[in-house]
Structure 1
Amino acid sequence: MVGDEDAIAAVLNRLRRAQGQLGGVISMIEEGRDCKEVVTQLAAVSRALDRAGFKIVATGLRECLSGQGADNQEPMSEAELEKLFLALA
């Protein structure tokens, strides 16, 4: 994800949000909050992490299609991208 500053900023924003939400979930459990509330917040953390992962994969796909790998490395192959997508499924 080197080079696409907007994508990096979006991913970091989502990860920071997920980090804050996870801290909230931990606090909720420690406080003995209602199971439904905890699960709802945990699902929000999961969605935030999924979105960050999908953004990373989408950026990799764009780099692969444009032929611009990070740090002059070879771009990801189709099989590598498929593996990344499946890892998030």
Structure 2
Amino acid sequence: PRGDRDDIELAVAAARRAFDGPWSRYKPYERQVLLLRIADLFEKHWEEISRSDTTDMGMPIVRTLANRNRVIGMLRYYAGMATSLHGETIENSL
């Protein structure tokens, strides 16, 4: 399916709301703490999350259960990136 002008406007409005929301004002270490907390909660409730994912998507429960290390590992990886990435602005001719 292809999006139309209304779809684009909805996507831009959602991006603007997200940017103007609290996340863009969090300091990197605050983002890191939050993502690590989410990873801890996922780890604690993984069986429940797996059952929900299986019900929602129809994926076999053994597969959703097996995704645990990958999902939690990615959350922890990106939590670490929150305090280690540094941006660089590159000039352009426009």
Considering the TM-score relative to the shorter chain, is it more than 0.5? no
Task: Please indicate the TM-score interval, normalised by the length of the shorter structure.
Answer: 0.3 to 0.5
How high is the TM-score relative to the length of structure 2? 0.37
Larger radius of gyration: 2
Q: Which has the higher helix share?
A: 1
How high is the TM-score relative to the length of structure 1? 0.38
